[in-house]
Amino acid sequence: MKKIKFPIGSSSVFFNALNTDIERILSRTSLLMNAKKLLWLKMVSYFMIHVCAYLALFLFPLGKTGLLAAYTFIGLSGILLAFNVSHDACHETFSKNKKLNTWLYHLSFNMQGPNAYLWKIRHTASHHLFPNVDGCDADIDDNPIIRLSPHHPFRRYQRHQHLYSFFVYCLYTLHWFFYKDFLYLFKKKVANLQQKSHPVKQYLFFFFWKLTYLSFMFLWPLCAGYSFGNILLAFFVMHIISALFFIHVLIITHLCMETQFPKTDENGCLPGDYYIHQLTTSLDYSPTNKIYNWFLGGFNSHAAHHLYPKLPHTTYPVISRFIEKRAKQFNITYNKLDLWTAIRSHYKYLRMMGRPGLNSQVKF
User: pLDDT per position in the chain (364 positions), as tens?
Assistant: 557 778 765 568 999 999 999 999 999 999 999 999 999 999 999 999 999 999 999 999 899 999 999 999 999 999 999 999 999 999 999 999 999 999 999 999 999 999 999 999 999 988 998 999 988 888 888 788 999 999 899 999 999 999 999 999 999 999 999 999 999 998 877 766 665 788 999 999 999 999 999 999 999 999 999 999 999 999 999 999 999 999 999 999 999 999 999 988 887 788 888 999 999 999 999 999 999 999 999 999 999 999 999 999 999 999 999 999 999 999 999 999 999 999 999 999 999 999 976 554 445 4
What was the pLDDT predicted at 272?
A: 80
Taking CA 264 as the corner, what is the angle to CA 352 and CA 347, rounded to the nearest 5 degrees? 20
CB 226 within 8 Å of CB 67: yes
* 149 within 8 A of 142, measured Cβ to Cβ: yes
Question: Do the beta carbons of residue 336 and residue 285 sit within 8 Å?
Answer: yes
What is the amino acid identity at position 340? Answer: W
CA distances from 187 to 184, 192, 194, 257 (A): 5, 13, 10, 31
For the CA atoms of 153, 157, 158, 163, the dihedral, rounded to the nearest 10 degrees, stands at 180
- The helix-helix angle for 228-250 and 161-169 (nearest 10°) equals 130
pLDDT for 194? 67
The domain total for the chain is: 1
How many Å apart are CA 147 and CA 355, to the nearest integer?
10
Neighbour count for residue 229 (Cβ, 10 Å): 9
Say what the pLDDT of residue 284 is. 98
Residue 36: inside a domain: yes
Tell me whether residue 3 is in a domain.
no
Give whole-number Cα distances, 336 to 9, 118, 190, 298, in Å. Answer: 29, 30, 30, 14
Let me know if residue 1 belongs to a domain: no
Residue 347's domain comprises: 13-361
Task: Output the pLDDT for position 361.
Answer: 45
Q: What is the pTM of this model?
A: 0.93
| In-domain check, residue 156 | yes
The C-alpha atoms of residue 150 and residue 352 are separated, in whole angstroms, by: 9
Cβ contacts of 58 within 8 Å, gap of 6 or more: 220, 224
In a domain, 7, yes or no: no
pLDDT of residue 360: 45
Whether 288 is covered by a domain: the verdict is: yes
Q: Is residue 98 exposed (0-12), middle (13-18) or buried (19+ Cβ within 10 Å)? A: exposed
Report pLDDT for 13. Answer: 92
- Residue 248 maps to a domain: yes
At position 273, the amino acid (one-letter code) is D
Q: Tell whether 5 is covered by a domain.
A: no
Q: Report the pLDDT value the prediction gives residue 188, as an integer from 0 to 100.
A: 75
